[in-house]
Copies of this chain bind each other. A is one copy, B any other.
Amino acid sequence: MYDEFELIEKIAAAFPTPEGLTLGIGDDCAILDPGRFDLVTTDTLVEGVHFRRDWMTPQDIGYKALAVSLSDIAAMGGGPGAFFLNLTLGPNDDKVFVDGLIEGMLEASQKLSPDGFEVSVGGGDLTRTSGPTVISITLMGEASPAGPVTRSGALPGDRIAVLGPVGLSEAGLRILRGDVDVDPDDFPALLAAYRRPLPRVHEGALLGLFGVPSALIDVSDGLIQDMWHILKRSGMGASIETHNLPRHPELVKFCEQTGLDILDFLLSGGEDFELIVVSPPARMTKLWDLARRYGWDVYDIGEIRSSTEGLRILAPDGTPITRPFPGFRHF
């Protein structure tokens, strides 16, 4: 295994561009460029809880560790910059594992950096544990000049859109976990959604730049639970029409083969990292413009209502749905 200084050197060499940093690795603190970053998000992935080595390559794990944080910056309408890595390695973590992790983080940073932004390493801490590997990433970002987009700006009459299909990652997880009797080779998109999610970082940055959303969140806990986060913070209710939710062909096939209810996946599946965009009707035209120009999938799934109406979810046949929605539990 690498010693501490070799490993620091390896990480520093993988992310050489000190974007947004006056000083990166090598002193008591990193020094940020003055006034550059105003967004901070942090996420921890724990082996056995958030990833398993028999389900994901080291590259997948590194990729996902950074992707989840990139998604949080996107969900503020901002762009990502420097990140800090707290890597707590277990007894069996070898060079192959660590090299793969770094490679995956680099892939995520290259594939997922929106135009005009670059992801760099500002520092971190390397430690050892006798238990499962723990990876924490703290990512800094820049809000749009139009201001950060929070969860709390939704108003009655605002439309609710989702930028892509949901429920895929949860189905992928169930295949990997062996909960269902299907041939994994038939469901590459579901497995990829779990292993290599595509957070909407380009979309989030552009939506923020054009000041489109009144509220924004990424689907990490499940569509309904994340919708609830917006409603609670905004003091609003909403009406969601499930017949407008996109149904990915693989998810449809998966539910046919397993007999599971696709609505459970659409409404409660976590970790798809699609954006839920809430926007006043007048600004929806800008969203459609952007969608046409960049080839985004946009699905209009409902409307913000006053809080007295609560959250009404309509089944495809128009009847209200009242089932409980557990969503993803991290803790």
Q: Which residues of A contact B (CB under 8 A)?
A: 3-4, 7, 22-23, 26-35, 37-50, 72-73, 75-76, 78, 82, 84, 86, 88, 90, 122-132, 134, 136, 138, 140-141, 143, 148, 150-152, 216-218, 233, 329-331
Q: CB within 8 A of A127: which of B44, B126, B148? A: B44
- In contact, A49 and B129 (Cβ under 8 angstroms): yes
Complex Cα gap A23–B76 (Å): 12
What are 28 A-to-B residue pairs whose CB atoms are below 8 Å? Answer: A3-B331, A4-B330, A23-B148, A26-B233, A27-B151, A28-B75, A28-B76, A28-B216, A29-B78, A29-B148, A31-B76, A31-B143, A31-B148, A34-B35, A40-B123, A42-B125, A43-B125, A44-B88, A46-B128, A46-B129, A48-B130, A84-B138, A88-B134, A125-B136, A127-B134, A127-B330, A129-B131, A129-B132
| Nearest CB of chain B from residue A242's CB, rounded to whole Å | 24
Q: Contacts A40-B32, A148-B29 hold; do A331 and B126 have CB atoms under 8 A apart? A: yes
Determine the chain B residues whose CB is within 8 A of the CB of A41 once the complex forms. 28-30, 123
Q: Which residues of B are found within 8 Å of A46, using beta-carbon distances?
A: 88, 127-129
Find A31's partner among B7, B38, B42, B134 (CB 8 Å cutoff). B38
In the bound complex, CA of A321 to CA of B265 (Å): 69
Starting from the known contacts A28-B76, A42-B124, 12 additional A-B residue pairs (CB-CB under 8 Å) come to A4-B329, A7-B331, A29-B141, A34-B35, A34-B38, A40-B84, A44-B127, A47-B129, A125-B136, A126-B330, A128-B331, A131-B131
B4 in contact with A84 (CB, 8 Å):
no
The answer to whether A151 and B28 touch across the interface, beta carbons within 8 angstroms, is yes
Chain A to chain B: the 10 pairs with minimum beta-carbon distance, closest first: A131-B131, A4-B331, A28-B75, A35-B35, A86-B136, A29-B39, A29-B41, A28-B72, A138-B138, A44-B125
B49 touching A40, Cβ below 8 Å: no
A100 to B60 Cα, complex, angstroms: 36
